[in-house]
Structure 1
Amino acid sequence: MGLRYKGRAFNAGDFAKDIESAAIEAIKEELRERFSTIRHPNTGEFPAVLVHGEALDDLRLSIEGSPQLLAIVKERMSAEELEATAFLPVQSGSPKAFLSYSFEDRDMAEKVARGLMASGIDTWWAEWEIRSGDSLRRKIDEGLGNCTHFLVLLTPSAMKKPWVQQEMDAGLVRRISGQARFIALRHGLAASELPPLLSGMLSPELYVSHFDQGVRDLVNDIHGVSRKPPLGPISSSIDLPAIGYSKIATAIAKVFVEETKDAMFGDPQKSTGELATAVDVSEDDIEDALHELRDLVTVSFDRVLPKADLFATFDKHFMEWSPQEDALRIAADLVNDPSMPIDTGQVAQRYGWEPRRMNPALAYLLARKLIVDYQVLASQFNSIRIVKTDATRRFVKSRS
């Protein structure tokens, strides 16, 4: 009787393939562990790490976290690792702005502060934050230490105030360390009158006659709303968002997102010809787009099968929900609510979600190793149980 492997006659090719697959999985796990354990020293935030690729020469990373945490991660990477990594900034909660100003400019500063607050930007303004008996230094330090955006209202009066200069020094330190953006607002002050350190920055001017528009532009800048108009669709019948993928790749994903019944692997399956017809491009264009989507689809004998991660990635652009937000809701309830069930069906019932919505959230959590993997065949869910780990807690804490 000859050697047998996995219940069959030994085949050197199968054995070598399994050894290579095991080696790749070990390397992917080492990469995930290496970068997911990096912690921001001040906020305690950990990144969410996703490792892509099925070949040793095609391993890539996607790392999610706040801009401040991603700056730390980048410092610990080699040039080759940086080139093979996609960094996905995640803003934890609302932006927090610190507004520095001269008391002579109080009325305008208040209008700016109220305009920011009304647009979802938590703003530190001295007259709201400092009460009788408070330590001025401690309250200002708290506001500076928590801000994601340092704003200074620069006027001829403000330029002469020593405390405004001191606060600008602190704001520039946070900018240099990657902890906050520094935005200088000018009113009645020419750009040529700015200090040398600010002369290279874009400093918008607030005009009394166009004040509301100036605040709206500021709000859009803080929220990251681009003023650049979107690219036109690849055909008149397709309206697609600009989300970091080519228009054709996005159109392919849209086809799968809109036609799937349960958002699981291989539902639905399409040939390259069917996709070319649906998207109205050539099959060569489809092949190029599928290479771009290689982490999110499997191509076998001219059949294109979407992976669960495709729906976790694209649902938020075409459906009424966001798998990332749904995943955070599940994770937060796992961590904070003792009555949270672990049976996936019960969790879905608790939220009133069908498998079509539940599965992308599960895929998001599973891909990042944020819950225990309980995937089984012949189930309507990507995992039959939802069990938390220490990574779940770190994820919730990092997004709080």
Structure 2
Amino acid sequence: MRAFISHNHRDKPQVAPLAARLRLLGVDVWLDSWEIRPGDRIPGKVNEALGLVDTVMVFWSTNSSKSPWVNTEWEAALTRRLRDDSVRVIPVVLDDTPLPPLLEPIMWVSLVDGDVDRAARELVGVDSQAELLKTMQRTVEESGLEYRYFHGFGVIVGCPRCGAPSSKLEGWSAVDHTRDDMYAGVRCTECGWDKGGEV
């Protein structure tokens, strides 16, 4: 599946986690913040993407209902669908804003409850949470990415500040004897970035 994510930028906190899950499930996701770079012509990039994808996911909310961009994107997707039956348009509902009449009869997915995993499973047709996790793990393994787990932080593929690979990261731990708390995390040996928390 090659999916275009149509959304209003105010909804990015709800949209980005689902887009990331879809990528881990092997979906080729086109999200503006991942694909458009400084100096790019935004209408040209969006138009090109809408012509290449086979699925347009319209994230619908109060914000997107007022967005000329989102309305133009879903209208273009429906127009393309009239010419090419292989294009799917899938509304993803973020709040109780009514869908436009042209999107209403299309089977939609709800993200109102914030359950990103369930929405991802519905969008790609994975039956259970266990299958979702197994599929995401396979994607990570097949990607060839070097990744490591650090207590107090979690899984990391590289330094978020300088981009050093995980082999340049080291774990740390400390004890606050006054409060009897233990802390752990990860630091970059290249740039000094450091993050962790109470464990």
How would you bin the TM-score normalised by the shorter chain?
0.5 to 0.7
Q: Which residue of 1 aligns with 2:89?
A: 182
Render the CA deviation track for 1:363-387: whole Å, top value 9, x for unaligned: xxxxxxxxxxxxxxxxxxxxxxxxx
Q: Which residue of 1 aligns with 2:150?
A: none
Match of 2:117 in 1: 212
Provide TM-score, normalisation by structure 2.
0.60
1:43-122 matched pairs, under 5 angstroms: 95-122=1-28
Please state whether the residue corresponding to 2:102 is helix, strand or coil: helix
Letter in 1 for 2:90: I
The 8 Å contact of residues 17 and 116 in structure 2, kept in 1 or not, is answered as no
Structure with the larger strand share: 2
1:209 Cα shift?
4.5
The within-5 A match list for 1:237-276 is: none
Cα distance, 1:184 vs structure 2: 0.4
What residue number does 1:134 align with?
A: 40
Superposed CA offset, 1:105-137 (max 9, x none): 011111121111110100000001100000111
- Determine the structure 1 residue equivalent to 2:100: 195
Cα distance in 1 for residues equivalent to 2:38 and 2:119:
33
Q: Secondary structure at the match of 1:133?
A: coil
CA–CA distance in structure 1, aligned partners of residues 114 and 50 of structure 2: 31
Please give the per-residue CA displacement for 1:240-283, whole angstroms capped at 9, x wherever unaligned.
Answer: xxxxxxxxxxxxxxxxxxxxxxxxxxxxxxxxxxxxxxxxxxxx
Q: Is the 1:154–1:189 contact (alpha carbons within 8 Å) kept by the matching residues of 2?
A: no
The answer (yes or no) to whether the contact 1:207–1:214 under 8 Å persists in 2 is no
Who is 1:296 aligned against?
none
Quickly say closer, same or farther: Cα 1:143–1:209, change in 2 above 3 A. Answer: closer
Q: Which has the larger radius of gyration?
A: 1
- Name the CA distance, whole Å, in 1 between partners of 2:115 and 2:56: 22
Q: 1:173 to 1:104 in 2, by over 3 A?
A: same
Which of 68, 79, 84 is residue 173 of structure 1 equivalent to?
Answer: 79
Cα distance change of structure 1 residues 208 and 164 upon mapping to structure 2, 3 Å threshold: same
Q: Deviations over 1:284-309 (max 9, x none)?
A: xxxxxxxxxxxxxxxxxxxxxxxxxx
State the Cα distance separating 1:175 from its structure 2 match.
Answer: 1.7
CA distance in structure 2 between the aligned counterparts of 1:180 and 1:218, rounded to whole angstroms: 14
Distance 1:105 1:135 in 2: 22
SS at match of 2:115: helix
Give, in whole Å, the separation in 2 of the partners of 1:203 and 1:180: 15
Using the aligned pairs only, state the percent identity.
33
SS of residue matched to 2:121: helix
Counterpart-to-counterpart distance in 1, 2:75 and 2:17: 24
Higher relative contact order (CA 8 A, sep 6+): 2
Pair 1:143 & 2:29 matched: no
Are the equivalent residues in 1 in contact too, given 2:14–2:114 (CA < 8 A)? Answer: no
Between the two proteins, the alignment pairs up a number of residues equal to: 127
**Which amino acid in 2 is paired with 1:160?**
K
Q: Which amino acid aligns with 1:194?
A: L
Q: List alignment gaps of at least 5 residues for structure 1.
A: 1-94, 228-400
> Are the aligned partners of 2:121 and 2:127 in contact in 1 as well (CA < 8 Å)?
no
Q: Tell me the secondary structure at the aligned position of residue 57 of structure 2.
A: strand
1:32-47 pair list within 5 angstroms: none
Residue matched to 2:62:
156
Q: Give the alignment's TM-score, normalised by structure 1.
A: 0.31
TM superposition shift of 1:166: 0.3
CA–CA distance in structure 1, aligned partners of residues 17 and 81 of structure 2: 25
Indicate if the aligned counterparts of 2:109 and 2:122 stay in contact, CA closer than 8 A: no
CA shift, 1:207, in A, is: 3.2
CA contact (8 A) 2:2 2:28 kept: yes
TM-fit CA distance, 1:203: 1.4
Structure-1 separation of matches of 2:49 and 2:100: 24
Q: CA 1:209–1:112 in 2, change beyond 3 Å: closer, same or farther?
A: closer
